[in-house]
Chain A
């Protein structure tokens, strides 16, 4: 039973790196099909034209926008001169757009069709929304992959209950790119996200965080304790992989196994435990009810190892050394 570190060298992308490189090169020379602002001499600076000038032409936008929090804030209680401009608070001064509505450089647009660079769009949003829950946006993984605020949000209408999202809910917005998690949450063991009792944002901050998976806490365990404070301890007797990282045993989005475990018990526990006596016994199908002449091994049934090692997350009993109590 030897390890197979060399298996990595047989993995197909590494056998033929030139194929991958050639495909990338061909792809990179594909010219972008996205509209670009017109080039030429710098135009004169634009001036504000007022909301009425916008809605004279963009009546539908005005109708939808009227139900949003931005509209209500800008119209009913603007805090500064920029907010007083309503439409132009986000899109920029509109005089040049009025003169030439096909000039995509005359206004800040937030759709792919319009073509304003993502950095310009995002800076416009961050002009008001920087800091707070978005203090880690710069350098976050979403920012680095050129995700625009308007990829997730549609401030022009109220499609969702909160957050002015593009889709009716937070999770559906995330599923646009993170389809794997949509499938994970449909597995046998999952947290109540499809049932509407939580969303991706209960655990993740899509605007950036100090952790790689964009967690809303400084570590996985601190995040899990938000809803599972009963696991926080500290306990009299600790279980090392539990204290270090809940994801040593659990997978958070969904599992085909009980309790969001990564693999079945008892083999999960046997990936780490080989002390003498029963932890390193091979358990077999013949030890199940109706098996061959072997005795039924209750270590396989129901909660398996946790039938006896009940307090597996840690024990506060003086007798809880092995988590029996």
Chain B
């Protein structure tokens, strides 16, 4: 038997596996549960199905008396089955089989392009592209399997299973998921750690933009990537005819870095000069998630019961990211001696947290009561986070703000956890769910069902921004930068600065669903479905206390559409609710404090409706047809049309359209030959409207009022179009097997805009002289073509050769990144005080060749 497998967390060491290196035929990878957990597929770019790539395809007949193949009840043709090699006799009653495939990859072109490497490792070099070993002993039904691919590469996986058929199984796996995000240059030192420092050419808080630009352009190359190393153990045991247990533990280690923004005030033009400064930062990723779940399961002919417990513990090794600020951010009133004290910025990174869930599920049938069946699910959960909070300021000395009475502060009073109203987050959210279902069959052709579902979320998290040292409510906005650039905008409540969000909002609520539905079997193969569902959502602290969504759905299933099947449905959904309050948050702002004077600045445009709460009417039509047009050809078509009519003047407006048309065909022209083709077309359209506010005005927040002038209205239209084409052909010749596939994806995304008054829309000042605004952004586009061809030939009963070639090209245009450099020159001249590391996705063309030799036994 093979050596035991080590499952470390970091830098997964696979030496024992490599030493064992037994290999076998297409074998079962560790199988996850369809109800619990992820990792249901272990594969990679080279082996996307997780199966032995060397398995030969059988002929088209899966049945002795149906040489042309068979179809599923829907009319889908059963695929040719792969030919699995028989096991060989070993010792002590064991039989075994193994296979190993090693290969050499070589390629050119954009192999280093982050987009090409996003989720795959196809670097040049040797590859253990597949290995598997299977053993079983019939006498006691024991079995063992081990399989994997690309050991030592960033997309490796290994799966192991040991058990006794129909009794128990123990599974273990490792799975590495690469995620390359982007690349560029950075002047920061310490990338990947929780402290970013400036190079020797720059001093914190005191550099010219020219010096920063020089450092940015001379910075070291940097690639953002996050590697997920996942490992897990699963145990399943069939205790007896009724009881079984399932338990799983998985751990994921994520390492790497991601780009994130670090603002010290946004770049602001003031009479030809620019203040502010934002640096793109490097977020360190050193995180672990432990997931434990267990299910106790009971089933007999009438009653089934599950008891499920799960726990998830997330740990982040970095509580914060501190960076040295290269910018002298300036101020709106000219020289400010306090800007020199803004040496650093500090970001609180995602906190470690835990979640626990307990769930019970019951299903009971009472055939005597009109074939009744009752289902119930009860669940309770809790999410916790109690990390120590950071001090409000990472800058410790000198004054911040501006040298104006009431507009400054002493950093020392904020650079300590004594400046907090509480030392830790003490955040908690409790969830609960009760889901009840009943179904009856009062007549052979009629099934009726009722459902009642109640879920509740209670947020017990509370925080007040208050400094006990100074006795002030508030915080340091942008770590002090905002109040250093603009007087009385520091985030600290004062009579001159009365409007700040100072208390956290514990968003929570409840949801109730009530549903009635009926299925009427019109004919032996035709069923009509009708359902009505009402969903009420009650929210605390949102603009709408209650929304209700009424949904009516009509469905038709015809499995006798000739030899095929039609499934169609139409759903109408209408959402409304209680009155919309555009500002329900007053109690969380300092204007609610005793003695505070409301400055009269509206919270938002009163008529704007947030789309998750807004009235809307939705129509969704789905039609799916699967049809075998001949014994060896089946075609499928799926169409979805969705229209959403938004009942709002601002926010999402007018009609949202989402359309999708899909066709596919599968053809088995002869034994050992298969072909497929698919074509998809999608288009989406969103429209929205907003109003720019007139700068410096106060008053009512209604459209047409003093703040949101009618001339300042603008709209935007987002239109997406996507086309996908795929073709494939596989044929077994006498001299080998050829397999060719090609995919083409093309998408275009347009964003247009319109306005009444350009000055009003852009600046908030109607009639202001501005340059021509145009009416659209350049279209974003994405094209990717991939062609892959392989040829496999058996050289001997144990040896086969596989040649593989792949060509892939990608082109992309995204105006978010077009023309982006580490530091930009402003269109009006001078440098923009903003630095970037990730300069966005770029096109690539890559050609790869692989030669693989597979040995089987």
Contacts and interface: CB of A to CB of B under 8 A. Distances in A.
B686 to A, nearest CB: 5
A4 B628 CA distance: 42
Given A34-B560, A138-B373, A234-B353, A187 B44 contact: no
A46 interface: no
Contact of A288 (B348, B383, B491, B818): B818
Given A158-B84, A159-B82, A276-B601, A245 B780 contact: no
Contacts of A184: 682
Given A3-B645, A286-B772, A218 B433 contact: yes
A284 B851 CA distance: 51
Interface string B348-381: 1111010101010101000000000101010101
Contact of A161 (B50, B244, B345): B50
A230 B252 CA distance: 12
Given A205-B35, A307-B280, A222 B381 contact: yes
B820 A34 contact: no
B805 interface: no
A73 to B, nearest CB: 4
B773 A72 contact: no
B346 A325 contact: yes
Given A77-B141, A282-B773, A324-B478, A195 B51 contact: no
B558 A28 contact: yes
Contact of A183 (B357, B363, B624, B722): B722
Interface string A240-281: 110111001000000011100011110100111111111011
Interface string B157-169: 0000000111100
B688 interface: yes
A91 interface: no
Contacts of A318: 389-392, 420, 463, 465, 475
B266 A151 contact: no
B845 interface: no
Contacts of B646: 3
Contacts of B179: 192
Interface stretch (B10-18, B189-197, B203-211, B516-524): B516-524
Contact of B782 (A179, A188, A274): A188
B723 to A, nearest CB: 8
17 contacts: A27-B558, A30-B560, A32-B525, A162-B40, A172-B49, A177-B624, A184-B682, A195-B48, A196-B41, A207-B35, A234-B461, A267-B751, A295-B826, A296-B826, A300-B815, A307-B261, A315-B348
Given A30-B561, A151-B74, A265-B816, 6 more contacts: A31-B560, A179-B678, A196-B44, A232-B312, A238-B459, A294-B827
A158 B664 CA distance: 24
Given A168-B79, A234-B385, A319 B691 contact: no
Contacts of B384: 234
Contacts of B29: 161-162
B326 interface: no
A170 B41 CA distance: 8
A197 B41 contact: yes
Contacts of A324: 263, 477-479
Contacts of B479: 319, 324-325
Interface string B605-626: 1001011100001010100101
Most interface-central of B70, B392, B772 (chain A CB within 10 A): B70
A126 B181 CA distance: 45
Contacts of A274: 604-605, 608, 650, 690-691, 693, 708
B560 A33 contact: yes
Interface string A38-57: 00000000000000000001
Interface residues of B, number: 267
Contacts of A308: 261, 263, 266, 278
Interface string A63-76: 01001010011111
Contacts of A30: 558, 560-562
Interface string A295-325: 1101111111011111101011111111011
A227 B772 CA distance: 46
B82 A158 contact: yes
Interface in A183-214: 183-184, 186-188, 192, 194-199, 201-202, 205-207, 209-210
A282 B542 contact: no
B347 A310 contact: yes
Nearest to B533: A212
Interface stretch (B106-114, B396-404, B501-509, B794-802): B501-509
A316 B645 contact: no
B737 interface: no
Most interface-central of B64, B377, B726 (chain A CB within 10 A): B64
Interface stretch (B216-224, B329-337, B405-413, B832-840): B832-840
Contact of A229 (B66, B289, B437, B626): B289
B229 interface: no
Interface string B662-676: 111000000000000
A271 B611 contact: yes
Contacts of B688: 267, 270-271
Contacts of A265: 816
B45 A195 contact: yes
Nearest to B240: A79
A95 interface: no
B478 A319 contact: yes
A1 B724 CA distance: 36
Nearest to B784: A186
A3 to B, nearest CB: 5
Given A76-B141, A301-B817, A316-B351, A218 B680 contact: no
Given A1-B653, A281-B692, A151 B72 contact: yes
A8 interface: yes
Given A307-B261, A321-B465, A244 B81 contact: no
A132 B44 CA distance: 29
A36 B682 CA distance: 39
10 pairs of A and B residues whose beta carbons are closest in the complex: A32-B560, A196-B43, A131-B299, A131-B304, A183-B680, A179-B662, A289-B819, A317-B348, A196-B48, A133-B35
Nearest to B25: A67
Nearest to A229: B314
B643 interface: yes
B474 to A, nearest CB: 9
B375 A186 contact: no
A183 B261 CA distance: 32
A309 B662 CA distance: 38
